Chains A and B, each alone.
Chain A
């Protein structure tokens, strides 16, 4: 059984007025019920993609589908079913948390009860007559998330939701996203330029760099790729001889004073070590190179430029 796709873009291209191509053939597929980490360095085209999904930018080229409907022609139907937080929180700072929510409660026609529910959900029920201006950044962010949740959206689009939050705020936001996903089956697109953070909650990943998608798929797939790309690092007193000894069996590369070969398993590492020692070489170091997602992210985004 195939999982339905909530967001699908086909050959999405976008250029700003200066003519620079911001998006180049972006094919996004966000499965229903997933937490889709949309990852890329600053300037990769994340906000542009998300703004296109919300109709904040006019689509120039390519197809844009949400909930199986074309965006153009179904703008209101689509927007009714999603919640969003783009860049910094959109709040009326001269109003209280409740008044901010009342504005959107009218727009989404959710009923007044829902305002208290979301305030409780994000932990802002006690703010009373305090204006949003007096809120900390973390509180503002939570209020913005509360607005995005008002209409119990099927899809939540969050652009860098943990930007500027303290470690505690980051953890709280992450837990909230996971909770929404688990309890209400909300599909979440969360963009970030910090891999570490996305890795902790995402089920699926899309990596974008310079307007092009470099990877898209379940998180495990990326982790498998990571294993495939892992290398064993060896440092000896005579690398030239080590190459002669090992090259019949292994595909070796030399990088400065290190030898690199594809990492197999622990036993293989031990065998290589024994072989080198038996030949009278001093082995200074032998270990699998730290090739976590972070490393991979750097590799993916730098190799394909």
Chain B
């Protein structure tokens, strides 16, 4: 119960915060670029999108989003949310208020996770809007006539979200450790780029920063249908999440100096 209250307090802190604007603008950025190319150069897109407009559009969107933008936004969000306390010098007030360390740690965690959830929802909404709006301007598109493959879309979202848990837990811990938010962002982006370079490696399914792209890669085709609900890297993601959540919590709990 106290965790619910603490999380509600956390959500007030996110109002108009940098993390909020990042997620809103970040989720709109790519759909907006798609919308521009659809409306300004329809000749380049009609043929490509004629048969399966939504599948082609959403597939392309999620591919680009999963590889780099999504993990990058998550890295930034994980740093920006704790940064609100550092920047305003408010950690001391948080720790001097009657909240257990568990409530403090997990309420902020939940607020990060809900911000990532918000990013997901808004990205989907903007992607769908981009298709619909392009069709309204150029009725030759077939977005309004063809159905969206909701099952695929929900599965894609779900698997991506699971694949991000590892990164979220690592980045949250780093952000609590380092007062200077450039440090966790630098480490995160460095690891993300390394993971993308390591893609062909046979153990890539154990490299957390590659998980979102792996989830995209596994979202279509016959391979995905066989693999069941969770692919191996998604199970690793959950394991990493549990380990780093515990580490992060223990770190806050046993720290000698707070605020």
- List the interface of chain A (C-beta within 8 A of B): 51, 54-58, 76, 79-80, 84, 86-88, 90-95, 99, 102-104, 106-109, 147
**B5 interface neighbour in A51, A79, A90, A109, Cβ under 8 Å:** A109
The answer to whether B257 and A57 touch across the interface, beta carbons within 8 angstroms, is: yes
B190 contacts partner chain A, Cβ-Cβ < 8 Å? no
Once the chains bind, are B99 and A95 in contact (CB under 8 Å)?
no
A residues less than 8 Å from B98 (CB atoms): 76, 79-80, 107-108
Q: Which listed residue, B88, B96, B99, touches A56 by the CB 8 Å rule?
A: B96
Give A55 to B17 CA distance when docked, in angstroms.
28
Question: Are the CB atoms of A58 and B12 closer together than 8 Å?
Answer: no
Q: Is B90's CB under 8 angstroms from A92's CB? A: yes
- B112 located at the interface, meaning its Cβ lies under 8 Å from any Cβ of chain A in the complex: no
Beta-carbon contact of A86 and B16 below 8 Å: no
A288 to chain B minimum Cβ distance, whole angstroms, is 45
Residue B151 at the chain A interface, CB threshold 8 Å: no
Are B88 and A102 closer than 8 Å at their CB atoms?
A: no
Contact A106 B8, beta carbon cutoff 8 Å: yes
On whether the beta carbons of B96 and A79 are closer than 8 Å, the reply is yes
- Could you list 9 examples of A-B contacts with CB < 8 Å? A55-B258, A56-B96, A57-B257, A87-B89, A90-B89, A104-B93, A106-B12, A107-B99, A147-B93
Residues of the B chain whose Cβ atoms lie less than 8 Å from the Cβ of A57: 256-258
The bracket for how many chain B residues form the interface is: 20 to 34
Contact among A58, A86, A87 with B257 in the assembled complex (CB-CB below 8 Å): A58
Question: B177 in the interface, Cβ–Cβ < 8 Å?
Answer: no
CA distance A89 to B147 in the complex (A): 55
Note all chain B residues with C-beta closer than 8 A to A106: 5-6, 8-9, 12
Contacts of B87 in A (CB 8 A): 93
Interchain CB contact under 8 A, A90 and B12: no
Give 5 nearest A-B pairs by CB, closest first. A90-B93, A79-B98, A80-B98, A90-B90, A58-B256
Chain B residues with Cβ below 8 Å from A102 are 9, 12
| Apart from the given pairs A79-B98, A102-B9, A103-B13, 10 other A-B contacts in the complex at a CB distance below 8 Å | A54-B95, A55-B96, A86-B96, A92-B84, A93-B87, A99-B12, A104-B93, A104-B97, A106-B5, A108-B98
Chain B residues within 8 Å of A56, by CB: 92, 95-96, 257-259
Instruction: For A95, give its contact among B8, B16, B89, B257 (CB under 8 Å).
Output: B16
In the assembled complex, which residues on chain A have CB atoms less than 8 Å from the CB atom of B203?
none
Complex Cα gap A54–B257 (Å): 11
Q: Quick check: B95 and A107 within 8 Å, CB to CB?
A: no
Q: When the two chains form their complex, are residues B16 and A94 in contact, meaning their CB atoms are under 8 A apart?
A: yes
Q: Are A93 and B97 in contact (CB under 8 A)?
A: no
Instruction: Give the shortest distance, in Å, between B92 (CB) and chain A (any CB).
Output: 5
| B100 located at the interface, meaning its Cβ lies under 8 Å from any Cβ of chain A in the complex | yes
Output the nearest chain B residue to A99 by Cβ-Cβ distance. B12
Residues facing A in B207-259 (CB within 8 A) are: 256-259
B17-59 contacts to A (CB < 8 Å): 17
Q: How far is the CA of A58 from the CA of B17 in the complex (A)?
A: 31
* Complex interface: chain A residues within 8 A of B258 (CB): 55-57
Chain B residues with CB under 8 Å of A99's CB are: 12, 15
Verify A76–B95 contact, CB threshold 8 A: no
| Least distance between A246 CB and chain B CB atoms (Å) | 57
| Interface pair A86/B92, CB less than 8 Å apart | yes
Q: If A56-B257, A56-B258, A79-B97 touch, does A103 touch B12 (CB 8 Å cutoff)?
A: yes
Complex Cα gap A93–B87 (Å): 9
Query: Are A84 and B96 interface neighbours, CB within 8 A?
Result: yes
Q: Known interface pairs A104-B97, A108-B97. Does A93 touch B88 (Cβ–Cβ under 8 Å)? A: yes
Task: Give CA–CA (A108, B5) in the complex, Å.
Answer: 10
A91 with B16, Cβ < 8 A, contacts A56-B257, A106-B5 known = no
> Which residue of the partner chain A has the closest CB to B90?
A90
- In angstroms, Cα B45 to Cα A246, docked, is 111
Q: Give chain A nearest CB distance to B9 CB in angstroms.
A: 4
Q: How far, in whole Å, are A20 and B121 apart by their CA atoms in the complex?
A: 53
CB of B84, distance to nearest CB on chain A (Å): 7
Within the complex, what minimum Cβ distance (angstroms) separates A96 from chain B?
Answer: 9
* Chain B residue nearest to A85 in the complex (CB): B93
CB-nearest residue of chain A to B20: A94
Nearest CB in chain B to that of A84: its residue: B96
Least Cβ–Cβ distance between A9 and chain B, in angstroms: 17
* Contact A54 B96, beta carbon cutoff 8 Å: yes
Q: Give Cα distance in the complex from A51 to B96, angstroms.
A: 9
A79 to B97, CA, bound (A): 6
Contacts of A90 in B (CB 8 A): 88-90, 92-93
Q: How far is the CA of A56 from the CA of B256 in the complex (A)?
A: 8
**Residues of chain B in range 171-221 having any CB-CB distance to chain A below 8 Å:** none
Given the interface pairs A88-B89, A107-B6, A109-B5, the reply to whether A95 lies near B96 with Cβ below 8 Å is no
